[in-house]
Chains A and B, each alone.
Chain A
Amino acid sequence: MEATNASIPPESDPDLAVGLALVRKARRIRLIETVKVGIVWLVLLALLTAGLLQLRISPQYAFQHAGFVLRGVGTTIGVSVVSILIASGLALFGALGRLSRNPIAQGVSGLYISVIRGTPLLIQVYFIYLGLPQIGQQLKELGYPQLAEIFTLGAIEAGILALSLNYGAYMTEIFRAGLQAVGHGQYEAAAALGMTRWQMLRRIILPQAIRIIIPDVGNQFIAMQKDSALVSIMGVWEITFRANRLARKDAKFIEMLLVAAIIYWILTVVSSWLQSRLEKRMAHAYER
């Protein structure tokens, strides 16, 4: 678009001049609207801050100790990124299972989704962290020490496992919808060319499905960053755990929870931005 505008001077074509003026006007109106929304945000945040300052809280304490909480950002991001990757893998297999005609694949994926979606994440976290080692203990007594080791997970591993299993089940539906959203004609064209099911999936269907599901997976990733706070109950030194620790020690709950909340918020804003960049990049082949 821009290139065409640059190559033809506007005065040479009256239609083009009118069109450009209209486009500029529409852009200006959009900008003004964005600015208005921004002003509303600022006013609301200012009111909120003013209100908070009426309370007996100490901003200095929050600023001084923000660094301690910030050192948990790496863990939070790490746990979330690893978990969303594993969850995506599980979701892909879950979706393929649901769409497959194989009774074993259908049964396994169906039960997995039903159980995970039917129980609270908190219980899943507890079960994996506290329940599995008990199973391991009993296996040891039964004479399987190697198996027992597998069942005894560290806090981070347990957290990643719980989040992956949980999100994998919910994301199965996203992946299923994505695979189904790729037109039937694409499957047929690939099949008619002699592709195996795996070649079809990897080369033709998945690349198109991924573009469709990126917004939903991004959404899940954003939600997971916050749900990863649950692993703090196992003593993983991520954002929530660190904030909570100081809050309890010095009875500065408002300060430290606000610090944690703001950090999560910033993470979300950055993730949303990255997501929109990724979406734009993947849209390349689909732009006229």
Chain B
Amino acid sequence: MPTNGEPIVRVQNLHKWFGLLHVLRGISLEIYPREVVVIIGRSGSGKSTFLRCLNLLEEPTSGRVEIDGVVVEAADGELLPESRARIRDLRLKTGMVFQEFNVFPHKTALENIIEAPMVVKGVPKEQAVEKGRELLRKVGLLDKQDVHPIRLSGGQKQRIAIARALAMEPNVMLFDEPTSALDPELIGEVLSVMKDLAMEGTTMIIVTHEMGFAHEVADRVIYMEGGMLVEEGPPDQIFTCPQDPRTRQFLARIIESGRLV
């Protein structure tokens, strides 16, 4: 695990309640620059909620999130007043890729990518377009720049979504089950883009069910269950000799279903 100096993400004692459901039960975690962290666990374990709390798409019930110096804190179901004003700052530190892509259907591939840099950061159009085309090349879709999402496959849409998030030059990329909505034959092209990003040293937090990918790309794998981080470690350790019986049971089931490569 590369421990390059100070952590870039610091989460302290994060709790999240949905009504009477206690979904996150006190999560603390530090992530270092250039680190690739993969979170695994069964559905309902709180992995996605945790990820969404990092950019405040969900408001934590209590706890503290710090990303690259921007701190947002909640207590007793409310954000602290000074934290509320920092939500956007926090979001600018992160880029998010969603399970359902959420590309903008009324904009072409290139327009999807240049929209936020121009509108949010005030980047001049030529500059945004240049950067946008560079990102399109990176995700292998330069030939689709003027195409609307309806004419793209799921894998292509997800690659546009990744490029769109990268265009804001975030410090940390968050991936929320980026391949779960894809047809099996399209998963590879998205994972390959993510592998490239990992090689370049992008800091990434990835929630996924792709165990082979996790094994190959992660610096650290975290197993979550019942809203808690049960076990974490390098992929070799988690996948070959997990310590916690819950992790063992989860992985045994995955192996039965034939998804662990």
Tell whether, in the assembled complex, residue B96 and residue A192 are in contact, meaning their CB atoms are under 8 Å apart.
yes
* B83 CB to nearest A CB, Å: 16
The listed residue (A186, A199, A287) touching B102 by CB distance below 8 A is A186
A37 at the interface (CB under 8 A from B): no
The listed residue (A186, A191, A199, A285) touching B119 by CB distance below 8 A is A199
B29 at the interface (CB under 8 A from A): no
Q: Chain A interface residue count: which class?
A: 20 to 34
* B51 CB to nearest A CB, Å: 11
A-B contact count (CB 8 A): 69
Tell whether, in the assembled complex, residue A192 and residue B94 are in contact, meaning their CB atoms are under 8 Å apart.
yes
What 0/1 pattern do residues 81 to 117 of B give for CB contact below 8 A with A? 0000000100110111010111111111000000110
What 0/1 pattern do residues 180 to 194 of A give for CB contact below 8 A with B? 000101101101111
Tell whether, in the assembled complex, residue A195 and residue B106 are in contact, meaning their CB atoms are under 8 Å apart.
no
- The interface residues of chain A lying within 8 Å CB-to-CB of B115 are 193, 203-204
Tell whether, in the assembled complex, residue A189 and residue B106 are in contact, meaning their CB atoms are under 8 Å apart.
no
Classify the interface of chain A: helix, strand, loop or mixed.
Answer: helix
Tell whether, in the assembled complex, residue B164 and residue A193 are in contact, meaning their CB atoms are under 8 Å apart.
yes
Q: Output the nearest chain A residue to B108 by Cβ-Cβ distance.
A: A285
The number of residues on chain B lying at the interface, defined by a beta carbon within 8 Å of a beta carbon of chain A, is 29
B42 at the interface (CB under 8 A from A): no
A74 at the interface (CB under 8 A from B): no
Tell whether, in the assembled complex, residue B98 and residue A194 are in contact, meaning their CB atoms are under 8 Å apart.
no
The listed residue (B88, B98, B107, B116) touching A188 by CB distance below 8 A is B98
A56 at the interface (CB under 8 A from B): no
Given A193-B116, A203-B115, A203-B119, decide whether A285 and B91 contact each other with a Cβ distance below 8 A.
no
- The interface residues of chain B lying within 8 Å CB-to-CB of A204 are 104, 115
Tell whether, in the assembled complex, residue B151 and residue A194 are in contact, meaning their CB atoms are under 8 Å apart.
no
Tell whether, in the assembled complex, residue B91 and residue A191 are in contact, meaning their CB atoms are under 8 Å apart.
yes
Supplied contacts A192-B95, A192-B165, A285-B108, 5 more A-B pairs, CB within 8 Å: A186-B104, A189-B96, A193-B95, A195-B119, A285-B106
List 5 tightest A-B contacts by C-beta distance, closest first: A185-B102, A189-B102, A193-B116, A192-B96, A194-B92
30 contacts between A and B (CB under 8 A): A183-B102, A185-B100, A185-B102, A186-B102, A189-B96, A189-B98, A189-B103, A192-B94, A192-B165, A193-B95, A193-B116, A193-B164, A194-B88, A194-B168, A195-B120, A196-B120, A199-B119, A204-B104, A207-B106, A208-B105, A208-B106, A211-B106, A285-B105, A285-B106, A285-B148, A286-B105, A286-B150, A287-B150, A288-B150, A288-B151
